Structure 1
Amino acid sequence: MTSYISGASIRALRERAGMTQRHLADRLGITDKAVSKWETDRGLPDITLVEPLACALGVSVAELLSGEQIVNANRAGNLLRAKFYVCPLCGNVIHATGEASISCCGIALPVLEVENAVDGRIPAAPENAAAADPSAHLPRVEVADGEVYLTMEHPMGKDHFISFMAYVTTDQVFFRKLYPEQTADARFPYRGLGIIFAYCNRHGLFACRTPRVQRKSTVRLM
């Protein structure tokens, strides 16, 4: 059985909320035996119960699935127009040009927050490529011959990989879905200033504004 929710996480969140198994069961309209099975990993909540379960426990769906409390100071201050959503069950990636209510596999998806944003602002690409950290979650960007090339030094194994790269301008979105064992790279037509996004399945979404380019230029984003 593929487990998308840890029984230990459900128990910890229930106890943190000060509820008994019966109390939680009553709120969900199920039996306390069902809750006991979840917490001992002898069963999983039906997919239709994931969102109500998160609500009953006082956490987001993302927190329920990860088992960790999410603290992000940029959640309320993120003014980026481009929004990305990733389904934790099927891996589907959805893009929206503004705030939206997005659901997939029967659960509501939280908008991905840009992990390296500062006070809701996307940082600019550093001018000195040699000073970049090779473990950074953003690609090396090269603009030449009317195209933008993205390459990354990042693991691409089954448990840790870059799920997608995107290049967003004021009126266009270019996107490449990536999978384990593939090369972490992408090539898009260059359409001027915009934002480069890269999503790591472990560490989240990272972004950087594209540099001003007049001639062939190479930078590594941090």
Structure 2
Amino acid sequence: MSTYITADTIRTLREQQGLTQRALAEAVGVTDKAVSNWESGRGLPDISLIESLAAALGVSVAELLTGDVRQNANRAGNMLRSRFYVCPICGNVVHALGEGSFSCCGSQLISQEAEEPDEHHNATVTYLDGSWHVLIDHPMT
């Protein structure tokens, strides 16, 4: 029978975080003996502890339960890859940080290019009193 969480997962994640069994136990609100039992396979954490255990181990609940921890290797997003998709039927807008396949109202959405600003749609950006202000002098109707 497979369990909802494995001893190896808890031990590996705890060691990756540089935590002792006692430090993990204090973070979750149990004894270090309980953590020892979890890691040796002699017991399992109560379901009510899963959220706090995942937080203490620096993973999501899903990652904790499956043991499949994904590291995000993308350290810098590139806004130049942004794409806008507009539904031709209802006008909904989807903003994606890269290419994608989207549909709305039964229609496949096509990536839209931004229009070049004209005299009515030119943004003015100023820094005033510690805040950035963006002004577009147009009623936007």
Which TM-score band applies after superposition, normalised by the shorter structure?
A: 0.5 to 0.7
TM-score, normalised with respect to structure 1: 0.36
1:104-143 equivalent positions in 2, closer than 5 A: 120-122=98-100
Cα distance in 1, alignment partners of residues 31 and 9 from structure 2? 19
For 1:58 and 1:69, how far apart are their aligned partners in 2?
A: 10
In structure 1, list runs of 5 or more residues that go unmatched. 81-97, 99-116, 124-167, 173-190, 196-208, 210-222
Higher strand share: 1
Aligned with 1:11: secondary structure?
A: helix
Distance 2:98 2:46 in 1: 36
For residue 29 of structure 1, report the CA deviation from its aligned partner. Answer: 1.1
Partner of 1:20: 20
Q: What does 1:152-191 align with in structure 2 at a 5 Å threshold?
A: 169-170=103-104, 172=105, 191=106
- Structure scoring higher RCO (CA < 8 A, sep ≥ 6) equals 1
Partner of 1:38: 38
TM superposition shift of 1:62: 2.7
User: Aligned residues, how many?
Assistant: 97
TM-score by length of 2: 0.53
* Residues in 1 aligned to 2:98 and 2:42: alpha-carbon distance in whole angstroms: 42
Tell me the alpha carbon deviations over residues 116-146 of structure 1, each in whole angstroms, 9 at most, x when there is no partner: x9x53215xxxxxxxxxxxxxxxxxxxxxxx
What amino acid is aligned across from residue 169 of structure 1 in structure 2? S
| CA–CA separation in structure 1 for the residues paired with 2:34 and 2:27 | 13
Q: Over aligned residue pairs, what C-alpha RMSD do you find?
A: 3.6
Please, which runs of 5 or more residues in structure 2 have no aligned partner? 84-93, 112-141
1:143-186 superposed Cα distances (whole Å, 9 cap, x missing partner) = xxxxxxxxxxxxxxxxxxxxxxxxx632x5xxxxxxxxxxxxxx
Q: What is the percent sequence identity of the aligned residues?
A: 51
Change (3 A) 1:53 1:122: same
